[in-house]
Structure 1
């Protein structure tokens, strides 16, 4: 018999409450048993799943088809650069091989994904670094311009590109000898991470060389991390709100805008019809990433997820942008104080 709160000895559940509670408990047990079964199945599938597929590697051992094979693989690699993951993967290579062309960077990557520093056997490894090739090592094939001198009508010489040659190079991992200097890698976020002390100074000098000054101020939260003003002020403003490493990469981003001539095309900097703002930002952020990696800075997480589908499957657009990024990186890094080559630790 059910008793109310006002009854002596009450309240007490009635038999209907007991049956309902039992029904709920039984249902809960069924749900848990079903969840347990699902988890067991998932664990079994995980255990049986094959290991992650390693990066695809190619070989150009057949010299009779080497030229055609190289051309095909380069075209395929460029077509696959329109996702954030692939783009950032390529940029990592660009930071290590900035003195190589886009095509050669892709060739190195597809033949030796774990390469860190490559060079010719005699001039680089034997003569410059006093290192020797490990027996059985396979060559990494890159393309080199074939240039000949020809006489002009006025009797002077001119250099003429007549074709391309396939040239073997080798990764440091395929050689033995005195160690190369190691560059420490610093993972950073907007809130944490210290840039190498010389990075801010060296990048600021390059910005000054373009006729711009640098100001560091605490910009409003949620606002821009930095920006560049052209005439008449010609200044680069970087927020002090963020970590030293992040601020240095912002500085590199603004330098990239200047180096790539974006300031002279400010009328194109919009996202409307015919606007070039998305492309300019991809270019500047890509250059900043490479410059940051040059100094050993590694962003925490993916920095380029937002460009997925940016090129809309247009390989020509991808290649043109990548070529411009490479050109800017080569110019900026080439203007920095030269130090001994270093591989990322």
Structure 2
């Protein structure tokens, strides 16, 4: 591992260990919602070096987009994976030594810049905020569940006694029930993300995780996904994760991957819908 790469990894780990307040933790999660396409490590590195960043790219990528990095701007260092093939010798069961090709991945530092550090052509984007129509996110979430072979039912308390006052929904090995009694569409959508997170995070991975950690992780995923669409949640239970988790880095890595998967699927749904409107 090179010195620069080692230095970046040390910076990353230090940043996670130094989370000392719920507000600081919330800012990190809000950052996750903006930079869902980046790895957890790079999300943290970008947030550490440029907290106000909104859209980052490399120097040449900005030029292709018709923008130029301003003179004197200091770049943001992140880690880029580099994969190559390596020939190694392995012993077979019969004792014979054979040569095999293996893929090896290592990381090297690369530099990116935020859009605020550039000048030039405006960047075309689709406004995907759901400020005025929160219920719209339910449809793509249901399609996502279907893609994952997860059955979702919406039920009243009378139809499902498990859905009492304190229970807004539950998941059970490929099945999710969401309470409709006293829950509007925004709350149902948030609850659905929470239960989807349980299915993706905890269905086959429960070793070493307490019930409390599982709940906090699922609630954190719900916050990140809903925050991406500018939907504010009433609950702030997720804020307790930074001081409760047995391994915050490991926990956030899982959360980041699941949030990214849900956001990318729902974004694709909304973008396709917007394109159909424009061509109609």
TM superposition score normalised by structure 1: 0.64
Matched, 1:322 2:252: yes
Distance 1:275 1:98, change over 3 A: closer
- Correspondence for 2:141: 203
SS of match in other structure, 2:112 = strand
Q: 2: distance between equivalents of 1:66 and 1:151?
A: 27
Distance 1:182 1:174, change over 3 A: farther
Moved more, 281-290 or 218-227: 218-227
- 8 Å CA contact 1:80–1:86 kept in 2: the answer is no
| Alignment counterpart, residue 135 of structure 1, candidates 68, 71, 93 | 71
Q: 1:156 deviation in Å?
A: 7.2
- 8 Å CA contact 1:183–1:296 kept in 2: the answer is no
Matched, 1:183 2:127: yes
- Correspondence for 2:173: 230
Q: 1:174 deviation in Å?
A: 1.5
- Correspondence for 2:224: 290
Cα deviations by residue, 1:132-184 (Å, 9 ceiling, x for unpaired): 222222211101123222346678754212x3211000111122312342636
- 8 Å CA contact 1:95–1:291 kept in 2: the answer is yes
Q: 1: distance between equivalents of 2:134 and 2:182?
A: 15
Q: 1:301 deviation in Å?
A: 7.7
Q: 2: distance between equivalents of 1:308 and 1:150?
A: 39
Q: 1:278 deviation in Å?
A: 1.1
- 8 Å CA contact 2:5–2:79 kept in 1: the answer is no
Q: How many residues align?
A: 255
Distance 1:204 1:224, change over 3 A: same
- Correspondence for 1:257: 198
| Alignment counterpart, residue 111 of structure 1, candidates 19, 24, 49 | 49
- 8 Å CA contact 1:287–1:328 kept in 2: the answer is yes
- Structure 1 portions without partners, runs of 5+: 1-63, 188-192, 269-273, 341-345
Cα deviations by residue, 1:79-130 (Å, 9 ceiling, x for unpaired): 13474333322111111112222221111011100001111121x3222x33
SS of match in other structure, 1:144 = strand
Distance 1:319 1:204, change over 3 A: same
- 8 Å CA contact 1:133–1:175 kept in 2: the answer is yes
Matched, 1:80 2:18: yes
Q: 1: distance between equivalents of 2:173 and 2:52?
A: 41
- Correspondence for 2:39: 101
- Correspondence for 1:242: 183
| Alignment counterpart, residue 112 of structure 2, candidates 169, 178, 184 | 169
Q: 1:247 deviation in Å?
A: 1.7
SS of match in other structure, 1:298 = coil
Moved more, 99-108 or 234-243: 234-243
Q: Of the two, which has the highest radius of gyration?
A: 1
- Correspondence for 2:85: 149
Q: 1:264 deviation in Å?
A: 4.4
Q: 2: distance between equivalents of 1:149 and 1:293?
A: 40
Q: 2: distance between equivalents of 1:196 and 1:183?
A: 16
- 8 Å CA contact 1:87–1:304 kept in 2: the answer is no
TM superposition score normalised by structure 2: 0.77
- 8 Å CA contact 2:216–2:237 kept in 1: the answer is no
- 8 Å CA contact 1:194–1:243 kept in 2: the answer is no
- Structure 2 portions without partners, runs of 5+: 90-97, 158-162, 273-280
